[in-house]
Structure 1
Amino acid sequence: MKVVQELETRMHPDSVAGFRLVLAEARVTDSILLPVRAMERMVAPVQWMLRRVGEHGIRLTQAGYLPPAVVVEASTQLDWGWPVTASRESHFLPLLELRAHLRSVGLLRVSKGMLLQTSRGRALVEAPRDLWWHLARTAHQSRDPAESDATRLLLLLIARRGFDEAELFKQLLALSLETIGWVRADGAPLSSDAAFNLVLPKWRLLRRLGVFDAGTSSYTRWIVTHGGAAFARAALQSEV
């Protein structure tokens, strides 16, 4: 069953027609047509991390972080616009979140204090197209069901590309979550900020992968790139 089909099975009947209209506007069944060069640009941070780990791995600090030399190297190699120069991974949130995500989607692992590539990571590091597809298909994965559902719905809004106001993204995300049963503990609807907080780490990851235009986007305007819309459609075409 596709991701979007599974969402529909849990949706209030009154919401199904509107949901299907959004699916049509988002063109989620379209073939994914994206040049390999565009895929390469999007997966570049992930390739850098996998290559840096390499076949021999990286020994982590006693606290379980990347060593300072690797963090400094990452801060110069990865153009993320981080406001301060960091030498500790705990002070470099983008790197910390990227490493955690690559572990969660089966590309990196930790064994006996060493950060290592998995067999899948080794297979995909020099295959940008396949790596792009793997990242798309696993983008919504989370141990938290609410985060997973919220990410799927965010990806649907991204695929639609109908607006760029951040607040509208958040409001529609909150409304969409309500249609599949996610509300506050007291039964009240989620606020737009509460809905966004569910996907904040995923949103930051998508932003660093180039789903949003880094040059013109901000915290108030999320301008979806062509590659970002394709990435979202690929994610929504994955199987649950």
Structure 2
Amino acid sequence: MSDPILLNERAMVRMLVPVQWILRRVGTDGIRLTKAGHLPPAVVIEASTQLDWGWPIEVNREVHIRPLGELRAHLRDVGLLRVSKGTLLLTVRGRTLVESPRELWRYLAATIHHSRTPGVSDATRLLLLYVATRTLDSRSEYLEVLGRGLGSLGWVVSAESGMSGEDAADELIAPKWRLLTRLGVFEGARHGFGRTETVTVGGAAFARAALKVEVPAIVPA
């Protein structure tokens, strides 16, 4: 049976590299966190060398690698990791999915919008809608349409804040944008004084899966 999302498993595995790395690193023994609740320096150094995120090797504190902390927090929020008595552990779901890339990829897509803040959830769903279409090429374009879209949904920026709709959208979506970037949804490139944020083929498929939008099957003539 063909996959209506139209993305092969090898492409999914490439997108899952940081997620599978941290889940495998936690493994069956777990990771003892610091007293402040962060990953220990040795694990942070491993992450900075194993994950191609452009961070210097000498960085050894999780607070200095924001994407790592955000990824760990997200995996905990969506039920793949948990903390017990100061130790980071896999949940039952995490153990089940870690070596099942297709199922893990789909689960991450289905839960990517998850947030304790309703505005973040709404902004993420709107962002995914535009990602699925692959029609925008820069972060500023996304923020412009997100600002208008959130306003249409009833999210109003108070005049006292001094923020524009785009600024408010940026504040809401920034952590999810970074997470999606680390998952390979966006491929950034600099051109002169500007920067494009092109949606990858895998990124568009991820957005469709998150929105549960299937590509119609091609029926032979």
Paired residues of 1:217 and 1:223 also in contact (CA < 8 A): no
Corresponding residue of 1:105:
78
Give the counterpart of 1:50 among 7, 20, 23.
23
Give the counterpart of 2:33 among 53, 56, 60.
60
Corresponding residue of 1:122:
95
Paired residues of 1:183 and 1:189 also in contact (CA < 8 A): no
Q: As a proportion of its length, which structure holds more strand?
A: 2
**Cα offset, 1:81, TM superposition:** 1.6
**Cα offset, 1:36, TM superposition:** 0.1
Is 1:220 equivalent to 2:195 in the alignment? yes
Tell me the distance in 1 between the aligned counterparts of 2:168 and 2:195: 16
**Cα offset, 1:184, TM superposition:** 1.3
Is 1:210 equivalent to 2:184 in the alignment? yes
Paired residues of 1:60 and 1:113 also in contact (CA < 8 A): yes
Is 1:230 equivalent to 2:205 in the alignment? yes
Paired residues of 1:53 and 1:117 also in contact (CA < 8 A): yes
Tell me the distance in 2 between the aligned counterparts of 1:189 and 1:160: 28
> What's the CA shift string for 1:76-97, capped at 9, x where partnerless?
0010123573101111111111
Tell me the distance in 2 between the aligned counterparts of 1:106 and 1:194: 28
Is 1:40 equivalent to 2:7 in the alignment? no
Paired residues of 1:182 and 1:190 also in contact (CA < 8 A): no
Tell me the distance in 1 between the aligned counterparts of 2:150 and 2:164: 8
Q: How does 1:65-80 map to 2 (within 5 A)?
A: 65-80=38-53
User: SS of 1:176's equivalent?
Assistant: helix
Q: 1:69 to 1:129 in 2, by over 3 A?
A: same
Paired residues of 1:183 and 1:190 also in contact (CA < 8 A): no
Corresponding residue of 1:22:
none
Is 1:168 equivalent to 2:141 in the alignment? yes
TM superposition score normalised by structure 1: 0.82
Computed over aligned residues only, the root mean square deviation of the Cα atoms, in angstroms, reads 2.0
Tell me the distance in 1 between the aligned counterparts of 2:64 and 2:14: 25
Corresponding residue of 1:93:
66
**Cα offset, 1:74, TM superposition:** 0.4
**Cα offset, 1:31, TM superposition:** 2.5
Q: Which has the higher contact order (CA 8 A, sep 6+)?
A: 1
Corresponding residue of 2:131:
158
**Cα offset, 1:186, TM superposition:** 4.4
TM superposition score normalised by structure 2: 0.89
Q: How does 1:137-152 map to 2 (within 5 A)?
A: 137-152=110-125
Q: How many residues align?
A: 208
Q: Specify every segment of 5 or more residues in structure 2 that has no aligned partner in the other structure, as ranges.
A: 214-221
Tell me the distance in 2 between the aligned counterparts of 1:63 and 1:165: 37
